[in-house]
């Protein structure tokens, strides 16, 4: 059976999802950037990795994209695989794009499902922000797929992987982007996750709750016009038409009714969660998930729930703390 290259993003659910899809196209060859220990190899084997290619290098941290592209391109030329599967993270998409030029092969992004077909693998894509589905096929070269792993349910299929260990170093004169560090806490305007509180929070002391949710999710804190007018949060944290316009992936609105001026500033958010007491609040019209209830009861329960899920690693077997970004 032909090999299918799987770039292991981290030994967790995302890698298992990629392996699950890869098994449909051929025999999965897991490429672990950063040495895979025995626990990691066993975990990859449980989801069907026929072989594990464990590469150690300091360059994976320093130049994450360039180093991965080099390793994958070399392997793809040597093994001529049926496809290359990469998780569609920010780094992953960059790796997929550069690899596809390197191999002069077609690439498909935002893949949510894959199936084998007589004419080659068919990729199902979520198009137009989830408003449609597009099925496409790569007609030139080795197909490169950037997969949204969250959309795939991993299923185990135990295998005994053969492990190859090797070392890699980028040529010294490579011109590549370098990772400098983890970065600071994002400001409101550039934050990926924003948690905002409004009139329903009730008091300045109650605003601590908003901060706690932001800390739990790693996001920035914002406030509605009312909350800033009442002095519950600083004016530079105002999410409002005349304050800061935000573009997060996740927006959590706590006790915000959703005035026109507020919605104008957060309508770019990809996903919106709202908690408010009034079922008629306009915020629920734009929310992907709305909770009608007292936030002073719902939010503490949510914080406990998040803490509980973070502390128990039980549902995902053999999760290692190390992550390959």
Partner 1 sequence: MQIVVVVRQPMLAGRPARLDDADEIAVDQARRIALCRRDVEVTALAPGPAAAAATVRRALALGADVGVHVHDARLPGGDALAISRVLATAVQRVGFDLVVCGCAPADAAWAMVPAMLAERLGVPSLCFADTLRVGSRTVEISRPEVYQAALPAVVSVTERCGEPRYQRFSAAARQPVRTWSLADLGLDDDSLAEATTVVAAMPMPRRTGTVIQGDPATAAGRVADFLAERQFL
> ∠ at Cα 281 (276, 284), nearest 5°?
80
* Minimum CB distance to partner 1, residue 15 (Å): 14
For residues 85 and 289, give the distance between their C-alpha atoms in angstroms, rounded to a whole number.
31
Question: Of the candidates 189, 230, 264, 318, which one interacts with partner 1 according to CB under 8 A?
Answer: 189
Q: Choose which of 35, 106, 202, 282 interacts with partner 1 (CB under 8 A).
A: 106
Q: How many CA atoms lie within 13 A of 133 on its CB side?
A: 8
Task: Verify binding: residue 238, partner 1, rule CB under 8 A.
Answer: no
Among 161, 198, 223, 290, binds partner 1 (CB under 8 A): 290
Least separation in angstroms between residue 291's CB and partner 1 is 5
Q: Which of 116, 163, 306, 318 binds partner 1 (CB under 8 A)?
A: 306
Q: Site residues for partner 1, window 149-178 (CB under 8 A)?
A: 150, 175-178
Which 240-259 residues touch partner 1, going by CB under 8 A? 245, 247-250
* Residue among 38, 78, 118, 128 that touches partner 1 (CB under 8 A): 128
Burial class, 71, CB count within 10 angstroms (exposed 0-12 / middle 13-18 / buried 19+): buried
Name the segment binding partner 1 (CB under 8 A); options: 35-43, 52-60, 224-232, 289-297.
Answer: 289-297
The residue written with tokens 């894509």 in the block is 125
Q: Is 255 helix (H, G, I), strand (E, B) or coil?
A: coil
Between 39 and 127, whose beta carbon lies closer to partner 1? 127
Shortest CB 27 distance to partner 1, Å: 24
According to CB under 8 A, which one of 37, 192, 320, 324 is a site residue for partner 1?
Answer: 192
Residue pair 206/254 in contact by the 8 Å Cβ criterion:
no
Of positions 35, 37, 56, 93, contacts partner 1 by CB under 8 A: 93
Please provide the DSSP assignment of 191-245 as one string: -SEEEEE-GGG-STTTHHHHHHHHHHHT-EEEE-HHHHHTTSS-GGGBBSTTSB-
Q: How far apart are CA 305 and CA 67, in angstroms?
A: 38
């Amino acid at each position: 059976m032909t090999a299918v290259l799987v770039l292991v993003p981290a030994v967790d659910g995302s890698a298992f999802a990629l392996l699950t899809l890869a098994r449909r196209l051929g025999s999965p060859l897991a490429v672990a950037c950063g040495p895979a220990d025995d626990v990691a190899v066993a975990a990859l084997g449980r989801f069907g990795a026929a072989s594990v290619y464990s590469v150690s290098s300091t360059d994976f941290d320093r130049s994450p994209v360039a180093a991965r592209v080099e390793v994958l391109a070399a392997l793809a030329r040597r093994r001529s695989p049926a496809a290359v599967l990469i998780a569609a993270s920010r780094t992953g998409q960059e790796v997929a794009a550069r690899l596809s030029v390197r191999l002069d092969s077609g690439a498909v992004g935002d893949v949510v499902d894959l199936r084998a077909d007589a004419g080659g693998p068919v990729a199902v894509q979520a198009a137009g922000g989830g408003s449609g589905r597009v099925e496409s096929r790569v007609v030139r070269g080795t197909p490169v797929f950037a997969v949204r792993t969250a959309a795939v349910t991993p299923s185990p299929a135990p295998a005994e992987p053969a492990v190859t260990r090797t070392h890699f170093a980028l040529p010294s004169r490579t011109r590549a982007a370098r990772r400098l560090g983890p970065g600071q806490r994002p400001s409101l305007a550039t934050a990926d996750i924003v948690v905002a509180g409004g009139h329903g929070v009730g008091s300045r002391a109650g605003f601590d709750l908003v901060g706690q949710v932001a800390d739990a999710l790693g996001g920035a804190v914002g406030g509605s016009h009312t909350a800033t007018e009442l002095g519950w949060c600083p004016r530079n944290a105002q999410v409002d038409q005349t304050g800061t316009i935000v573009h997060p992936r996740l927006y959590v609105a706590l006790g915000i009714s959703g005035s026109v001026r507020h919605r104008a500033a957060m309508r770019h958010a990809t996903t919106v969660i709202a908690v408010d007491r009034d079922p008629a609040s306009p915020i629920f019209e734009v929310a992907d998930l709305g909770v009608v209830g007292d936030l002073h009861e719902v939010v503490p329960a949510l914080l406990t729930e998040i803490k509980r899920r973070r502390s128990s690693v039980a549902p995902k077997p053999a999760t290692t703390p190390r992550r390959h970004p």
